[in-house]
Structure 1
Amino acid sequence: MKAIHCDLLGDADVLQVIEVEKPKIRDDEVLIEVAATSVNWADLWKLADFRRKVRSATSPKPNLGLECSGRIVEVGSQVTRWKIGDEVCGIVPGGGYAELVAVCDKLVIPIPMGIPLRDAATLPLSACLIWHCFFRLNRVRQDQIILIHRAAGGVGSLAIQILKYYGCHVYITAGTREKIAFCKGLGAEVCINYRKENFYKRVFEETKGKDFGVIAAKNISIAGGNSLSLSPAAHATLLNDVEKNIWPAIAQQRIRPIIYKSFKLIEAADAHTAMQKSINLGKYLRSVDLDTGRDGGSGNMGLGLKTVGVGAGVW
């Protein structure tokens, strides 16, 4: 099968499509023929970390691709929920940049009703992060004010929709007029261009002074979360929550994945380069052609990396 291989050429990362052995599944795993995976900042951070640490040929290569959608082609002997041919999406511990990937059966869930197979690859990781940070750690409730920074990307665009679905008042920051209009179209009530306006002052005015001072007044704690650091068991529980609480809203067409651009398997480096520019409205998708089973060809492309931040506040 084909998969993305990472190497170094001078100071540049090289993402190359190579032939590798088909994964062998454990008793509690399924083998997924990948329809698509999304492009996440975590993959770029893995590459940046690889570049900093690599000093010898024995340094481990980063295993890219943290979520995918596709069809199950093999099931382990202990798997009871899934069968060959089922269409699923889920979180993988790396390896999604490939034609086949082995995944624990508890880390996949059905494709949301009404969503194309490939598009579903953009949902699992973002939905789990949103549910973990807002609904578990911060116990978001109806009528609360939520501020999402840099909200026009893959996580932010989905968060706006989910929080609106649960009756929250969503404020956002973004850096361009186009991104402001995009977020407003998704339901954001207050949209602030952080390049032109002091977002702290604007939020203070919009909330009539109900700002960070409330943290001290009400003895509120601040919780930070990153779902990528969670154990597989914790991710399985999160996916359960997502299937129960978010998938029905998608079936009702109240929430939808937003895909800015799609790339082929051989265009992985192009996808990363595009991600760095931070111009996307929604998520980048990297697809594999299931009709032929192959994208064809191979490629080498160099890329450099930068880091951006995403944050949110709850009142």
Structure 2
Amino acid sequence: MENKEIIINDKIYNLSLEFILGFFEGDGSVTIQLKSNPRHKTGKQVILIFEIHQHAIDKDLLKAISIYLDAGKVEIGRKVGKENNWVYRLRISTQKDLFNKLYPILRYQSMVLKKRNNDLNLFLEACKIVEAQKHTNLLGQRELEVISSKLSSKLNLDSKRSLPETFKSLNHEWVRGITDAEGNFNFSIYTRKDKTSSNIGTPEPDNNYNKKEVIFRFSIVQENSEITFLNKLTEFFKCGNVHIDSKGGGVFTVNNRKELQSKIIPFFENNELQTIKKHSFLCFKKALDICLNNKVLMDIHYQNLEELKNDTKENRE
């Protein structure tokens, strides 16, 4: 499918199929469910859902994806607190959309993440059963129950680790999509106590002062069952490292300022993000420029950094 520019509320969204697939791998899910319904002769109704979730601030991106795929509808997925904190979803669930629009696209695709590739294959298998009307009898429904039990959302971590590796290579559009879903551009200002030294090299206890340090971090997080994918990111960007965080998750991280300047920043300047993370990226870039262009940071520089930090935070809320 070709790249398209789709305008929603005066904003232009640059979409491609690979971007949507990457975005789905980060913020999407599939459902294969048998729900009790006495009106059906078997007593159960089969429900198949392909959906992508996003916070209210980026619901228009979901609308643009719906237009691109010519399928589904955008609706409220979860009401949490104020309206601007609600979660929306693009939901594709009608047989017409699934079999005429989505299935012909997905049948030729593979996923990068093991869990998503597993789920995609199961979902396509379920679609074939329903399209052939085998779901209308108990035998077909039992088959669907077995398929549903294998979805990654129902597997423990060890089972997810045991899923077969995928062989899809990363490309610019897919990485743009997964970053809009799972990427994080963050910088923090740390203040620590330091001591000046006397002429003879011994610390002077009365000369404590606050020393500030700015730490930059671009990261993408996944379950540690997806370490292979995270390692692919180090190869793709030719920088960064992969580690397990305190919660047991896998993290791809780039902290080095020169690598951020020479590799990460140019990539996302040329491959524009579509969600609010574009604003986070621009603030991140400005903050990095301040630190790289000024060998010694003065109070005015720290003030500018704090303003950028607050600007990023306000736009997330």
TM-score normalised according to structure 2 size:
0.24
Which structure dedicates a bigger proportion of its chain to helix? 2
Larger Rg: 2
Identify which of structures 1 and 2 has the higher relative contact order when contacts are C-alpha pairs closer than 8 Å and 6+ apart: 1
